[in-house]
Amino acid sequence: MKGICILGSTGSIGVSTLDVVARHPDHYRVVALTAHNNLDRLFEQCVSHRPGYAVLLQEEKAAEFRERLRLRGLAEIEVLSGLRALEDVASLPEVDAVMAAIVGGAGLLPTLAAAKAGKNVLLANKEALVMSGPLFMAEVMKSGANLLPVDSEHNAVFQCMPANYHAGRRAPMVRRILLTASGGPFLNKRLDELHEVSPEQACAHPNWVMGRKISVDSATMMNKGLEVIEACLLFDMPPEQVQVVVHPQSVIHSMVDYGDGTVLAQMGNPDMRIPIAHALAWPERFESGAEPLDLFAVGQLNFRAPDFERFPNLRLAYEAVRAGGIMPAVLNAANEVAVAAFLDQRIRFTAIPTLIEHCMQEIVPRPVDSIEGVLAADRESRSLASQFINQTG
């Protein structure tokens, strides 16, 4: 029986993780759940899964939550609050695996704490790795943690790697990594119409059910850009050997091209329980609850090259990973501010890449040798992005 901590349990990844865990009560028990604002869902999860700990960011909400649990007869669940509490529960001795599913840069420090503690880190938060890059991977190697990608694309690549593969190492004979992308809701929309798209349209993904931020990232293809940066780190590959392939059906989740001409692909329905179950059961497998893939219903598979004019954020991500140092953190922070402003209808959809490129051009590149340096670059980029919005909005 293994203990699991779910960072971000009330989001879509957290909910799917608990669904898989509930199917295998003889394999996993829930040690800790964390949430931001969704107290009602966290309460339901605590009633169903009886974790030892529940963590909220704000102490006033934590106090309210303690009282709700007490009235339900669940006072034995310890309710903690604050950023440090996230790091503490991710490092608990009774925790064997940490699902890192907090969206955005807020997930960096608790995910890093799990890596330092040598846990099985089930990485769904791509921003943590994008921001800290080699520093994060160095902690994984130092502690002996197992880094298991949960993003459907990186999990697919991981499954196509040789037996006994461990993230962070270059696999022999791998020539290219082919990351598939659905293209999002605007793949075929006229370019002159993108200026007018609404947050609701950007969040209407054709294949996946996701949170609002990641849905917008998919619409701009920044999601894929961050995945390119992540793939370079996870699989020790230069950006020139990580290729994005637009595949609207989202049936092939990614591929690995070997030097002998073999291309291995991982296929399945667009259901996040598949990569979650793989990461939870690794190095074995167990049932996920996903429906089996019906190839006859799929009918055909299509592929095309990405359009950098339609998706300038993908170009910017390649520029950031080639520049290295603080630039991936600058890119990520500017994107988070831009997406939040778009969702609040403070900027237009087409202003997102303009804002990001502004920050990348204005901030002087420099190497990163500490987490403090990463966080400083993050703050600098967020401040510059906010100024840009205030001046142009």
pLDDT at 391: 85
259-277 pLDDT, tens digit each: 999 999 999 999 999 999 9
Same fold across 2-149 and 324-393: no
Count Cβ atoms below 10 Å from residue 301 Cβ, excluding itself: 14
Q: Is 80 helix (H, G, I), strand (E, B) or coil?
A: strand
pLDDT at 103: 82
For 118, residues 6+ apart whose C-beta sits below 8 A from its C-beta are 143, 144, 145
Q: Which is nearest to 6 in space by CA: 372, 280, 290?
A: 280
Helix (H) or strand (E) holding 99: strand 97-100
Q: Is the pLDDT of residue 121 over 70?
A: yes
One-letter amino acid for residue 197 of the chain: V
Q: Region 233-244: what's the mean pLDDT? A: 97
| Residues above pLDDT 70, as percent of the chain | 99
Burial class (CB in 10 A: 0-12, 13-18, 19+), 204: middle
Q: Region 240-250: what's the mean pLDDT? A: 95
127-150 pLDDT, tens digit each: 889 999 999 999 999 999 999 999
Q: Which CATH number fits domain 324-393: 1.10.1740.10, 1.10.3720.10, 3.90.550.10, 3.50.50.60?
A: 1.10.1740.10
Q: Is-contact 370 378, C-beta < 8 A?
A: no
DSSP state, residue 171: P
Q: Which is nearest to 54 in space by CA: 111, 14, 96?
A: 14
Burial class (CB in 10 A: 0-12, 13-18, 19+), 244: buried
Q: What's the pTM? A: 0.92
84: left (phi over 0), alpha (psi -120 to 50) or beta: alpha
What average pLDDT is seen over the chain? 94
pLDDT at 208: 66
pLDDT at 209: 66
pLDDT at 17: 98
| Residues above pLDDT 90, as percent of the chain | 88
d(CA 29, CA 21): 8
340-378 pLDDT, tens digit each: 999 999 999 999 999 999 999 999 999 988 999 999 999
pLDDT at 261: 97
Superfamily of domain 2-149 in the CATH hierarchy? NAD(P)-binding Rossmann-like Domain (3.40.50.720)
Helical ranges in the chain per DSSP H: 12-22, 39-49, 59-71, 83-90, 108-116, 126-132, 134-143, 152-160, 199-202, 212-220, 222-234, 273-281, 295-298, 312-323, 327-343, 351-362, 371-392
Q: Which residue matches tokens 């293209």? A: 183
- The domain limits of the chain are 2-149, 324-393
One-letter amino acid for residue 63 of the chain: A
pLDDT at 106: 84
Q: Region 60-70: what's the mean pLDDT? A: 95
Q: Region 171-193: what's the mean pLDDT? A: 93
Q: Is the pLDDT of residue 392 over 90?
A: no
Q: Region 82-98: what's the mean pLDDT? A: 97
One-letter amino acid for residue 160 of the chain: C
pLDDT band at 42 (very low <50, low <70, confident <90, very high): very high
Q: Region 20-24: what's the mean pLDDT? A: 97
pLDDT band at 204 (very low <50, low <70, confident <90, very high): confident
